[in-house]
Structure 1
Amino acid sequence: MPLSPLEHDRRYGELDQVMRAYTGQPADDTPDRPSQALTAYLRHTWHSRPWALAVAERQLREYADNPPGRLRLRLGEFYAVLDVGLAESDVQQWLFCLADHIKHSIETGDVPPPSVPATHWEWHARFPELGQFLGGWFSQDMPDEFDDHEAAVDDYRNSTDPQLVARLVGELHELLALDLDGSDYALAVAELGMEVDPPAPYSAGGWLALVAGRLSVPTAEDGPSA
């Protein structure tokens, strides 16, 4: 029978995070240089969950040491490694290479410096609530569901736990603190799931600042501020 969610996470939970970091990215790691995807994983994980790096290193090595055999394949009791464009015969060595890079980073404290997210995975890992907001309320269906952008923002606020709204405000300020160019903010919101243009006359960055300010102001339902 297929793995239960608990067993999946025990064996492969952090391995799965590493594999997801390669979505849309080449697996061009070499023994001397990690790929952009692995560098993004290291950068974000060092910042947010440094303890998980050792788990990733162990799970990668264990999977490479014990790839699923015929019986586990037939029963579905295994983790399917993302197709990263490598020949099947090269996947095992690639997994060992990833484990070696992570081990080196842990043992030497070699941490990728802070940077603007470099991959689709890193954008969503760093700004998860912003991804929910833009992807859920500003998809291509937004004009059919809401009268305008302001109505969509109000619907998000009224239907979302205030703690998550506060988290979104924090993520908006963090994104704005990156001080990107206008075109880079447009790229950022697209990476995070926004499929409609900001309302005129705002640029992507200007609109994000407007939303952050709007959501920072308590409503009558929130009660008086302390």
Structure 2
Amino acid sequence: MSMKPLEFDRRYGELDQVISAFLGMPADDEPDRPSEALQSYLRHTWHTRPWALATAETQLREYARNPPGRLRLSLGEFYPVPDVGLPESAIQDWLFVIADHIKASIESGTVPPTSIPRTHWEWHARFPELGQFLGGWFSQDMPDAFPDHDTAVRDYKDTTDSHVVARLTGELNELLALRLDESDYALAVTELGMEVDPPRPYSPSGWLALVAQTLGEPPADYGPPSQGV
């Protein structure tokens, strides 16, 4: 029997967030140097959910001290650490190193400076709805589903809750406010799941600005219904 969601979150919820930051990244943390993946986790979490850092440190340390035994493995009541490129014998020590870095960051109050996302995980953690939008409506299948980009954007707007549309509009404006180089905007949309080029003649940033404008337009107001005579 697999673990209930509530119990999983209590034991492993923030641990899972930390480990997810390492997917596709080298787990090359050293006692005197956190990896790029861990720095991304620390940067994003410090600036969005600083209270979660203590939970992460506790869950990492508890898991390293009490790895799942045969019974928990057979019941499925454990957190399966994904493949991070380390041999199984090195996982325990690596988890302790990560926990030590997080503890040191908390105790020193060292908040990583703001930066554009530097890993795939950080792009999606910072711009989650934009990732859903680009990966869902502008995958490589987009030309088969919609005649053009504008139709896809309108479909998203018409079929998505207005509160979620507002969240996406905010993320678009935040990304545009960073004033990145055009090559960085091209990287951003790729990291966030876009698998087709922006429509001509738009650059990636120009198209994102157009999408933000389209999504921010209020619904048409046709006025009150006419009264019969």
Q: How many equivalent residue pairs? A: 224
- How far the C-alpha of 1:135 sits from its partner, in A, is 0.6
| Counterpart for residue 204 of structure 2 | 204
- Where in structure 2 are the equivalents of 1:133-212 lying within 5 Å? 133-212=133-212
4+ aligned runs moved over 6 Å, structure 1: 221-224
Say yes or no: does 1:66 pair with 2:66: yes
- How far the C-alpha of 1:217 sits from its partner, in A, is 1.4
- Where in structure 2 are the equivalents of 1:6-17 lying within 5 Å? 6-17=6-17
**CA distance in 2 between partners of 1:39 and 1:102 (Å):** 10
- How far the C-alpha of 1:65 sits from its partner, in A, is 0.5
Q: Deviations over 1:57-100 (max 9, x none)?
A: 00000000000111111221110012111111111010000000
Q: Deviations over 1:12-54 (max 9, x none)?
A: 0000000000011000000001100000000001111111000
SS in 1 for 2:180: coil
| Counterpart for residue 52 of structure 1 | 52
The percentage of counterpart residues that share the same residue type is 74
- How far the C-alpha of 1:221 sits from its partner, in A, is 6.6
Q: Cα–Cα, structure 1 residues 222 and 110, in superposed 2: closer, same or farther, change >3 Å?
A: farther
| Counterpart for residue 32 of structure 1 | 32
- Code of the residue aligned with 1:201 in structure 2: it is P
Q: Cα–Cα, structure 1 residues 140 and 223, in superposed 2: closer, same or farther, change >3 Å?
A: farther
Q: Cα–Cα, structure 1 residues 149 and 76, in superposed 2: closer, same or farther, change >3 Å?
A: same
| Counterpart for residue 120 of structure 1 | 120
Q: Cα–Cα, structure 1 residues 210 and 5, in superposed 2: closer, same or farther, change >3 Å?
A: same
- How far the C-alpha of 1:222 sits from its partner, in A, is 11
Q: Cα–Cα, structure 1 residues 80 and 223, in superposed 2: closer, same or farther, change >3 Å?
A: farther
**CA distance in 1 between partners of 2:48 and 2:39 (Å):** 14
| Counterpart for residue 86 of structure 1 | 86
- Code of the residue aligned with 1:189 in structure 2: it is V
| Counterpart for residue 227 of structure 2 | none
**CA distance in 1 between partners of 2:184 and 2:55 (Å):** 34
**CA distance in 2 between partners of 1:208 and 1:161 (Å):** 20
- Code of the residue aligned with 1:62 in structure 2: it is E
- How far the C-alpha of 1:148 sits from its partner, in A, is 0.4
**CA distance in 1 between partners of 2:154 and 2:87 (Å):** 49
- How far the C-alpha of 1:11 sits from its partner, in A, is 0.4
Structure 2: stretches of 5+ with no match in the other structure: 225-229
- Where in structure 2 are the equivalents of 1:105-116 lying within 5 Å? 105-116=105-116
| Counterpart for residue 217 of structure 1 | 217
Q: Cα–Cα, structure 1 residues 223 and 119, in superposed 2: closer, same or farther, change >3 Å?
A: farther
Q: Which has the larger radius of gyration?
A: 2
Q: Cα–Cα, structure 1 residues 161 and 62, in superposed 2: closer, same or farther, change >3 Å?
A: same
**CA distance in 2 between partners of 1:106 and 1:41 (Å):** 13
**TM-score, with normalisation over the residues of structure 1?**
0.96
**CA distance in 2 between partners of 1:14 and 1:111 (Å):** 19
| Counterpart for residue 96 of structure 1 | 96
**CA distance in 2 between partners of 1:31 and 1:221 (Å):** 61
